[in-house]
Amino acid sequence: MRTRRKVWKAPIAIAIAAGISLVAGCRQPAGDEAVEKNEAKPVLPLPPLPVAEAPMDRAAILLAVARAASAAALGQSDDRHQRDLDGKRFEVRLRFGCNPAARTKEDGGRFGVSFNEKDRTLRLRASPDLGIEDEPVAALAAKGVEAVEGFWIERPWLLTDGCPATPQPPPQPGAEASKAEKPEAAAPFQPPGPRIGVAQFFTKTDPRTGRRDHRPYEATSTLGAGERPSAEGYNLVLSGRLRAQPLGRVISCHATGVDAPPKCIVSADFDRVWIENPRSKERLANWGS
């Protein structure tokens, strides 16, 4: 009987010891628990927020045109650059009314600024002057294009909107110089200036509501006592997206000679057009969505 009791006690002792070891292994010292609680959890980086791309301004458009004109004059392909331009937003400013002396009355030109001293009325006008009848446009318009409306960029050598400075007169020769000693040199050859336009191309299937049909953009406002028209002129702002023509080009250039810059047309959709004061950026009139 003594031997049987010893045989049964051994398994019980082994089971109790195993249970104690299991419990001890699952528990950690209080110090370790505190360390775990104070450990910093890894922070997952948040995805960067999308940054809206700024619209192409006058300088960016003119530089893109210069690149396209260079490729056209050299007979090279710039198809990859043209594909990158398609769909980009743009915002081009055209300055007008820089000559205060010409603001007495409306002359029927493409741009007009007039101010009536009696009733303090300021009238501004900007008329589209680029159409399908223009020679470079007619050569570029694809089949199915019914109308073209836009503007030629005045002074396209100016990368920013502004009124050009009045040129200074050349220095006068000294009294000792005579015409016999310094005969007048022949005037150097001056190639015609570059001609660059921004225009919308309308097909027969496009809605006619987006067309101006030769109607000018006009703004009328009344100035307060002592307030004068802007001495820096006004801006006509064309805003929208560049749009490739059926041949896949946004900027189409037509070379007229080896010594003359190509004439280039930028194809675009005008989403919004407005007239603004260039200094205060106040919008005097707005068209579009």
Task: Check: CB of residue 206 under 8 Å from CB of residue 145.
Answer: no
Domain boundaries, the chain: 58-160+193-288
Q: What pLDDT score was predicted for residue 105? A: 47
Q: What pLDDT score was predicted for residue 37? A: 54
Tokens 């419990």 — which residue?
23
Q: What pLDDT score was predicted for residue 188? A: 53
Q: What pLDDT score was predicted for residue 106? A: 45
Q: What pLDDT score was predicted for residue 235? A: 96
Q: What pLDDT score was predicted for residue 26? A: 47
Whose CA is closest to 142, among 242, 69, 236, 249?
A: 249
SS3 for 56?
strand
Greatest distance between any 2 Cα atoms in the chain: 151
pTM: 0.73
Residue 200 backbone phi and psi in degrees, to 5: -100, 140
Q: How far apart are CA 274 and CA 285, in angstroms?
A: 6
Each of the 289 residues of the chain gets a pLDDT tens digit; together they read 444 444 445 554 445 455 545 444 445 545 555 445 556 566 667 777 666 789 999 999 999 999 999 999 999 999 999 999 999 999 999 999 987 665 544 445 689 999 998 999 999 999 999 988 887 787 666 667 888 999 999 999 999 999 988 877 777 765 444 444 554 555 555 555 678 999 999 888 888 887 888 899 999 999 998 889 999 999 999 999 999 987 789 999 988 788 888 899 999 999 999 999 999 999 999 998 7
SS (H, E, C) 227-280: CCCCCCCEEEEEEEEECCCCCCCCEEEECCCCCCCCEEEEEEEEEEEEEECCCC
